[in-house]
Chain A
Amino acid sequence: MNYSWDWGMLFRDPYAGWIVSGFSTTCILAIYAWLIAFSFGSVIGVLRTLDNKILRTVGTIYVEIFRNIPLLAQMFLWYFVIPELLPADAQRYVKRGMPDPQFWTAVVALGFYTASRVAEQVRSGIQSIPRGQQNAALAMGFSRLQVYGYVLLPIGYRTVIPSLTNDFLGVFKNSSLALTLGVMELTATARQIEEYTFQSFEPFMAATVLYSCVTLCVIALMRFLERKSRIIGTASAGGR
């Protein structure tokens, strides 16, 4: 194999800056998308545990639709199709006025896609709690809202921390799909450096190392959080 290595290029002028900005775009994209996914996914997950049949069906339909269409197809839908369906004013804003449309489209697509996964975790977390706890809370005069806010959600979240960590890492990794819309995130940056310099190994290696490092750090952090928040006397304590 004939290849002239040049690791120094990663630290030279334009490329070092590109990698830093690509990496921060990836992180910011992932965090915004996670905020949508976590909040909206929790709502959908709660809907799926309610007694009301209509609300439950709404939750199920949401999850099935967003889970069964590939993320890339969803990105294209959000970017090319949804703006056309909006009313004229909103359409003009999305097409002309919105700053950085590719980035925000990617955030929305990734957020709502992951929300369907978070919803499933939240639902299974809530359903793993023995029914008696809910009944006890209701018997003590808690309203439905208080039962969820003080009993079901705090316990439910804690039992599914490992799966939620997986979903967060999924968002982080899937944010690379934003490159198809032209967002300059980490993978796109590596690709760009390759095209400018014809050095393919170094930039891809840099991206690889950054992705793995973040993943390892997140896993370590969540293990720690999991230990801190374990519920004494449950089987789930300690994780896998």
Chain B
Amino acid sequence: MGFDVGVLLQHKELLFQGLIVSFQLTLSAIVGGMLIGTCLAMMRMSRIWIVSALAGGYVNFLRSLPLILVIFWFYVLTPKIVGHPIDAYSSVLIAFILFEAAYYCEIIRAGISSVKRGQVQAGLAMGFSYLSVMRYVILPQALRNMLPVLLTQAIIMFQDTSIVYVVGVRDFLTTADVVANSTNRPIELYTMVAITYLVICFAASQLVSRLQRRYAL
């Protein structure tokens, strides 16, 4: 049983669609996760203890759970809350956004704390409001500090999207699995999937380290 490239070429459109779904899922989860993550980070750094405790509890709780379990939770939970069945893709997307928000929160918080405290006070002393200090002084510097970590997290998340396999969303890995089962060619398909992920993630991580060298403060 040799290595048959024909199987891959024959199903290349299907596989490519799967890859697109993986990218889509990653991108939407990044956008959503960043938005909620930023709010969470602000809450965590709040002076009102109940607000920061709430955000801290959320972050630590979600970080202690496996992603698969969170995906299953939303897979069974969302239809029951909404009252009617929803498609697996939406439930997975919600799970990803809420799960990744916890990780992004920690990254953003670390980025903001990396800017020296005195700068906030200097900004306030010059008559800026708290929000404009954040907007014009702290966030631009914090963003630069945390950019490499944010991008690395994005790469990790791209790999994590393969987990949607467990609820049958047609991402790259699931599509390859379906093709592998229907053509009985698991070796070719799984090897191709692994190599594709390897190339994409390796290239992306090289790019990140180049960026990091260029934009480091």
Contact = CB atoms under 8 A, between A and B. Distances in A.
Nearest to B63: A215
Contact of B163 (A67, A72, A215): A72
Interface string B66-83: 111100110011001101
22 contacts: A1-B83, A67-B201, A68-B202, A68-B205, A70-B159, A70-B162, A70-B163, A71-B159, A72-B163, A72-B173, A76-B173, A77-B194, A84-B1, A169-B64, A173-B66, A175-B66, A176-B68, A176-B69, A180-B166, A190-B72, A200-B77, A207-B69
Interface in A192-215: 194, 200-201, 204, 207-208, 211-212, 215
Nearest to B76: A200
A200 B78 CA distance: 12
Nearest to B186: A80
Contact of B69 (A67, A187, A201): A187
Interface residues of B, number: 37
| Top 5 A-B residue pairs of the complex, sorted by shortest distance between their CB atoms | A215-B64, A68-B201, A70-B159, A173-B66, A176-B66
Interface in A154-206: 169, 173-177, 179-180, 187, 190-191, 194, 200-201, 204
A81 interface: yes
A73 B61 CA distance: 27
Contact of B165 (A3, A65, A180, A211): A180
Contacts of B65: 173, 208, 211-212
Interface of B: 1, 61, 63-69, 72-73, 76-77, 80-81, 83, 155, 159-160, 162-163, 165-166, 173, 177, 180, 186-187, 190-191, 193-194, 197-198, 201-202, 205
A207 B64 CA distance: 12
Given A68-B159, A180-B166, 7 more contacts: A67-B201, A69-B198, A73-B197, A173-B67, A177-B66, A179-B68, A200-B80
